Amino acid sequence: MRKPIVAGNWKMNNTMEKSIRLVNDLIPLIKNQNKVDRVIIPPFTALATVSDLLRFTSISCGAQNLFWEPKGAYTGEISAYMIEDLADYVIIGHSERRTYFNETDETVNKKIVAALNVGLTPIMCVGETYEENQAGKTGEVILHQMNKGLADIPIVNGAKFVVAYEPVWAIGTGLAATGEVANKVIADYIREPLSHLFGEEVAQRIRVLYGGSVNAANAAEFFEQPEIDGALVGGASLKSHDFADIVNAAASAKK
Ligand code: PGA
């Protein structure tokens, strides 16, 4: 059985003061829910502080991005080495980064390698746009993202990363996929290529999340699905009780 993960991506939200308040609200609500790996992913400005506040809890911290070079003259960038003490997870290739910052499957691949090299667990995001979905290209797009993003990843690290299926049309729109549709996309275009790339045994251990307008009301529908091992949550992770409800739904899902 794969242990579920619920990760809250705060995106570009929350000042330091708000971050501290939110994490302090969250800790008592989710600290004992050990059936679920809980991850809080604040903006970089609050990463050290949030990480410190989570230090003596079983809740993990994550970063929203990294740059693949270890150090040097890359103004404004942050390397895996700068994050490794502060976080356990790092989001790679979120669709907002692909759309607004020109990230490609090749840069996603470099970032995954950089994360794995320092022991960070990448959460690699894949997903199709609305136009691609309507044109019947969901499978083609995701298979491409999977095969390029994970090309030449050493097999020893094969089970160490997480994949998030995030249909771009579902992110921040309030229009989530259905559990059934997301489950089928994951089975056919994520679990299947994982098995080709790393073998069936490793593919069965890798956790695959759904993300895109997950909220307290719809979360359980995803967690019931056999291929869905948790959620990457945006908007609802900014409200402590909603996020806690999603964590609890993951803990009580019967597969
Ligand atoms: P959302 O964001 O839950 O606000 O749709 C999800 C994500 O971008 O990971």
Task: Tell me the best of 41, 213, 239 to mutate to test the pocket of ligand 1, counting ligand atoms within 8 Å of each CB and taking the most.
Answer: 213
The total number of residues written for the chain in this structure: 255
Q: Is the pLDDT of residue 255 over 90?
A: no
**Structure confidence at residue 149 (pLDDT):** 97
Amino acid at 174: G
Evaluated on CA atoms 207, 248, 9, 37, the torsion sign reads negative
Q: Is the pLDDT of residue 157 over 60?
A: no
CB-CB contact of 211 with 165 (8 Å): yes
**Structure confidence at residue 68 (pLDDT):** 98
Q: Is the pLDDT of residue 85 over 60?
A: yes
Mean pLDDT of 142-157: 89
Distance of CA 117 to the CA centre of its chain: 18
**Structure confidence at residue 200 (pLDDT):** 93
Average per-residue pLDDT in the chain?
Answer: 96
pLDDT tens for each residue of 213-253: 999 999 999 999 999 999 999 999 999 999 999 999 999 99
Mean pLDDT of 135-161: 89
Q: Write out the catalytic residue numbers.
A: 94, 166
The structural domains of the chain, with segments of one domain joined by +, span 5-239
Residues with Cβ within 6 A of ligand 1? 9, 166, 171-172, 211-214, 232-236
Mean pLDDT of 59-63: 98
Q: Is the pLDDT of residue 174 over 70?
A: yes
What's the 46 CA to ligand 1 centre distance in angstroms?
A: 19
Q: Is the pLDDT of residue 159 over 70?
A: no
What's the 158 CA to ligand 1 centre distance in angstroms?
A: 25
> Which two structure tokens, joined as six digits, stand for 212?
């895109």
- CA of 212, closest atom in ligand 1: 5
**Structure confidence at residue 147 (pLDDT):** 97
Mean pLDDT of 14-25: 98
CB-CB contact of 82 with 65 (8 Å): no
Considering only CA atoms, which of 209, 213, 153 is closest in space to residue 185? 209
Q: Whose CA is nearest to atom 1 of ligand 1?
A: 234
**Structure confidence at residue 1 (pLDDT):** 83
Q: Tell which CATH architecture fits domain 5-239.
A: Alpha-Beta Barrel (3.20)
DSSP for 99-160, please give it.
HHS---HHHHHHHHHHHHHTT-EEEEEE---HHHHHTT-HHHHHHHHHHHHTTT--GGGGGG
- CA of 174, closest atom in ligand 1: 5
